[in-house]
Structure 1
Amino acid sequence: MSKKSIIPPGTGKPLAPFVPGSMADNVLYVSGTLPFDKENNVVYVGDAEAQTRHVLDIIKSVVEEAGGTMEDVTFNTLLLTDWANYGAINKVYAEYFPGEKPARYCIQCGLVKPDALIEIATVAHIG
């Protein structure tokens, strides 16, 4: 098995020992992605739609750096802090996956920074 780290240009330093993406053979695993700027500050505090868009844009950059598109995404894990944001998150999520939808699961939990409302981890099959 070949394995390669995927780090888009301009990526900030992670809070923990991980990389944004890891490609093993033709499968891309995108780390849990939070609504952080390059200095690991939470962006769009209180706005679930804007945070979701920010997270999915980061995921898109990792997938594209690996040579894929969002159509290659086969599975997402969504972690949210409040079910009250579920509708807003799904509204934005649907924009990024307009055609055939990836499988996913969603749970409510606490996240690494209290102002973060959403975290998404992704699996894509590329090539």
Structure 2
Amino acid sequence: MSKIIRKIVSTAKCPKPLAPYSQAVVADRTVYCSGVIGIELNEPKLVPGGAVAQTAKALEHLTNLLHGAGSGIDKVVKTTVLLADMNNYTAVNDEYKQVFSDNFPARTCYAVAKLPLGAAVEIEAVAIVGDVTHVN
């Protein structure tokens, strides 16, 4: 049986983890990204502007993390969006569509009691590495 490569991904283009976890892990050709929130790059402080601004920043971090893992937004197959308030669902979707504008990944969205640092939104993703052909 051949060995599967497991690689820990860490990039300075994303905030350092707030707890004992990796920013992402690549297992074979699959990237598992930990949840990202809309915080400043060099300090654990939420960006001002509420759910929309936090979503934009979280998606920026996710894009940088995927790039650091050798993948990209176009290779995301699944996201999970965690919301502190479902009343932000439409606003978060509008921002989400600015990044995921075509060939949408599968997605789950939950309302949760509380997110780290009191964030309004957290987004995690699973993506693939390598050449991809999109078929509809």
TM superposition score category, shorter chain reference: over 0.9
Task: Compute the TM-score of the two structures, normalised by the length of structure 2.
Answer: 0.86
Greater CA radius of gyration, 1 or 2?
A: 2
- Per the normalisation by structure 1, the TM-score is 0.92
C-alpha separation between the residues in 2 aligned to 1:50 and 1:11?
16
The superposition leaves residues 7-44 of structure 1 with CA deviations (integer Å, 9 ceiling, x where unpaired) of: 12244332111111110100000001111222211112
The number of residues matched between the two structures is 125
1:76 corresponds to which residue? 79
Question: Could you tell me whether the CA contact under 8 Å between 1:76 and 1:104 is conserved in 2?
Answer: yes
Contact 2:13-2:64 at 8 Å conserved across structures: no
Residue 57 of structure 1 aligns with which residue?
A: 60
2:51 alignment counterpart: 48
* Percentage of identical aligned residues: 34
Structure 1 gaps of 5+ residues are none
Amino acid at match of 1:41: K
Other-structure match for 2:104: 101
Runs (4 or more) in structure 1 with deviation over 3 Å come to none
Q: Which range moved further: 7-16 or 70-79?
A: 7-16
Q: Are 1:14 and 1:40, in contact at CA under 8 Å, matched by a contact in 2?
A: no
- Residues 79 and 106 of structure 1 are in contact (CA less than 8 Å); yes or no, is this contact kept in structure 2? yes
Cα distance between partner residues in 2 of 1:100 and 1:72:
9
Of 113, 117, 121, 1:113 maps to 117
Which residue of the partner structure matches residue 11 of structure 2? Answer: 8
> C-alpha root-mean-square deviation of aligned residues, in Å?
1.2
CA distance in 2, matches of 1:69, 1:75: 12
